[in-house]
Structure 1
């Protein structure tokens, strides 16, 4: 008679990513307000970073006009320098505070989750646990819990900050020169679609990597605790063969996942350089045309 496999012992992907994210935030409890504050401060810092280039532009124009006209507006230049110094100081302070708030919330989340898992597993009948693989249970306590601890706040914060930078940068570019903004956005969109294709291909390998890691932890844990049984039944050869197979599967899935994910920075760098060249050429043509 076999016990049904619990949902947490499966490697299925979430059917509702947004709902899962909300559940994690509710689970964090009072510490989620630290994440909210950290995200808000990071977004404000990002907006201040976007405003700064406008003052750099004004200061450059003042210097250029002064060199060409023989009169340097030092008061205007000093005002731009003061504003820039204030903006970058505020950015440094806000990002420092955010760098403390968000990780502290993540660590508290991991602490609470480990305690809850410990209380939960103490209430599960021993006969039910005997039908599960020890290594898989241990993997949930260590690898998966640590992954949630690290990613629960950082990923959401980085995503929102990046979204703020994208929208803000696009707005500032359109405000400065809409034609160059369109030229700059086209390569970025191409890079986005290429990255989406890579992510779609690599996702299955990351799932396999997590599954194979759980299998190898399972085999090691059960072999370690049951080494006397393995010796008694002369099962070392079978265990070794099984370990080699799982290890090869883990190597294959991890290599493919790492290879595909490592392609993204290279491709984005290449597309960024292409976009930089295109913008320079388009800008030069606009200058020549007056």
Structure 2
């Protein structure tokens, strides 16, 4: 196999981890050796597992500005297209802003035509106005003074059609440019999010295994899926809207001042009111959006945990407790989401209220200006349209505030993942062992998960090629930790480990794990055929080699009882085959990998006694000329080991063969006798 898709990926780099792929299996938290981790797992009161809470308190929001700036900074590779998008937006908005002024001209033509029909033909407009003033009709004279017309001429439909056609073409052109802008911006956003997803995937492959020990799986999945999707939607909605709205506000203000500075000043009253309302709401809604997405991740972790341990929940009759905790977490998410959406939703109605007040003021003052002849009816109509165009983008900017804040809150969570400390990089240049024998040497190795809790201290041992080294001891003694150090899932505090004379710290992780095979108690199979799961151990293997591996590990025996044989598709949980059959498939995968060093962590715990005997025989052939480490609780399975290491509190307290250790009457003999005494007692 070429990569540990489960914990190996998290531990950074390809690995022949052909058994379990979960962080529990490879991260010092296996069932037989629950080693402590460097940072306590943040799974709320009650710890992990199907019955532990996964909740974490909602964090206070970080600085909105730096996070938003960092998010926008990820658009930098698209800056050339962003310039084009901006130019298209400027043209589109400019044309849209010209439309109302042109429609105002059409209104003036219609209004002037209607008025001219009511006036006697043959007189000039000046004569008509003078006659009205002479008769005491000053208001009507002032009204006519604001209009250009020819008495008795009626509506000039030729000129009106030209104006309306021009307006139609302007709006069509504005729509085309707006569509082009949206199309290009969509590509910019999607490529940016594509790179963000790629960065997250690369980051996950460079994170140390300890990070996954401290991060609930559902929480991590929520950041990789929900949060990134929310960032994508937020950028898609807000960037185009904010750009268009700002340009519209600038264009509309310009046109309003051209038409009437007085009415423009009235309309500008909305800006400080809008800024005040938006700022007040944004301060509160940002915290609520962070809480919303935090609770979303917590609930996902809860659901994933409960679903993974569904059978265990049923066995212990804890479904009511699980349901109650789910309801509690769901209620917390509901309250956070409701609060965030409600508070941010105040912006739009507030903006509409302010806009309506300004609309009324403009209509009253504009009407008076038309009556006085200082402004034409078409200009007032255009100004009212501009006032709508002015308040609408302000309202949109306000409504975009909640979308943008939600996206930035999600971006912060993604950036937290991207900012996590990477594992120690591979050395450059890296060393490569001269041989491929599998001689493994521990030289004064010390390691601890937390500084105040020693685990392995000054450990030395030599495992020769072809030897089977069994590791036994009570839970927490450091057995699984020992093999995790071989895989470089964790770095040593002191000392060194050599493989065929080369310090593994001087090798690349790909090279080291390419020479190492691991079969864990916690099996890992992906959704695919049995054939594909076996071939995962060596993608370059031939059909004959895959079949030989299946026959050697007795997979071939049960496969033929399945309807589709080797083409039987395993579902996501691989629960359409038994636990023992899953274990055999992972062992077949290890056979196919042909590693120099083989690690078996309770690899036969899920098979029946008869199958275990057969597998043990097959293991003997697999271990030939290879160094094998076998972690076992059933001491009867390691009697034939060349070397048995007895560990207690991270130290090797005894070592030797089965017969020698029994004769010594020490820790191993006590473990062995206690195991069989317990069996007799039962």
Q: Same fold (TM over 0.5)?
A: yes
Report the RMSD for the aligned CA atoms in angstroms: 2.8
Among candidates 275, 278, 286, match of residue 358 of structure 2: 275
Query: Where does residue 224 of structure 2 map in the other structure?
Result: 141
For residues 130-175 of structure 1, what are the alpha-carbon distances to aligned partners after superposition, in whole Å with 9 as ceiling and x for unaligned? 2211111100111111112222343222112111111111111111
**Mean CA deviation greater in 157-166 or 276-285:** 276-285
CA distance in 2, matches of 1:215, 1:150: 21
Residue in 2 that maps onto 1:218: 301
Whether the 8 Å CA contact 1:43–1:160 is kept in 2: the answer is no
C-alpha separation between the residues in 2 aligned to 1:131 and 1:158?
39
Query: Hey, what does 2:103 align to over in structure 1?
Result: 56
Tell me the CA shift for residue 10 of structure 1. 7.1
Residues 1:19 and 2:66 aligned together: no
Q: In 2 relative to 1, CA 117–17 (structure 1 residues): closer, same or farther, beyond 3 Å? A: closer
Match for 1:92 among 162, 175, 182? Answer: 175
Aligned residue among 149, 152, 160 for 1:70: 152
Structure 2 CA distance for partners of 1:159 and 1:17, relative to 1, 3 Å = farther
**Residue 2, structure 1, aligned to residue 84, structure 2:** no
Distance 1:153 1:275 in 2: 31
Q: Where does structure 2 lack aligned partners over 5 or more consecutive residues?
A: 1-36, 42-57, 117-150, 374-682
Give runs of aligned pairs for residues 1-290 of structure 1, distance below 5 A: 1-3=37-39, 12-14=61-63, 15-17=65-67, 19-26=69-76, 29-30=77-78, 33-67=80-114, 68=116, 69-71=151-153, 72-187=155-270, 189-228=272-311, 230=313, 235-290=318-373
TM-score between both structures, scaled by the size of structure 2: 0.39
Matched residue SS, 1:123: coil
Query: For the residues of structure 2 that align with 1:16 and 1:287, how far apart are their CA atoms?
Result: 50
Deviation at 1:209, TM superposition (A): 0.7
- Return the index of the structure with the highest Cα Rg: 2
TM-score (normalizing by structure 1)? 0.85
What are the superposed Cα offsets for residues 191-233 of structure 1, whole Å, 9 maximum, x if unpaired? Answer: 4422332222222211111111111011111222234555566
Distance in 2 between residues matched to 1:75 and 1:4, nearest whole Å:
82
Asked if 2 retains the 8 angstrom alpha-carbon contact of 1:35 and 1:153, the reply is no
| Higher share in strand | 2
Change in CA separation of 1:92 and 1:194 when aligned onto 2, cut-off 3 Å: same
Question: What's the offset of the Cα at 1:37?
Answer: 2.7
2:422 alignment partner in structure 1 = none
The answer to whether the Cα contact below 8 Å between 1:42 and 1:98 also exists between their aligned partners in 2 is yes
Q: Contact (CA 8 Å) 1:24, 1:152: kept in 2 or not?
A: no
1:188 CA drift (Å): 5.0
- What is the CA distance between 1:20 and its match in structure 2? 1.0
Q: Residues 11, 218 of structure 1: CA spacing in aligned structure 2 closer, same or farther, 3 A cutoff? A: farther
Displacement of 1:267? 2.3
Q: Distance in 1 between matches of 2:40 and 2:90?
A: 46
Number of residues of Structure 1 aligned to a counterpart in Structure 2: 284
Shift of 1:236: 4.1
Looking at structure 1, the residues matched to 279 and 185 of structure 2 have their Cα atoms a distance apart, in angstroms, of 27
Uncovered stretches (5+) of structure 1, i.e. residues with no partner: none
Moved more, 219-228 or 208-217: 219-228
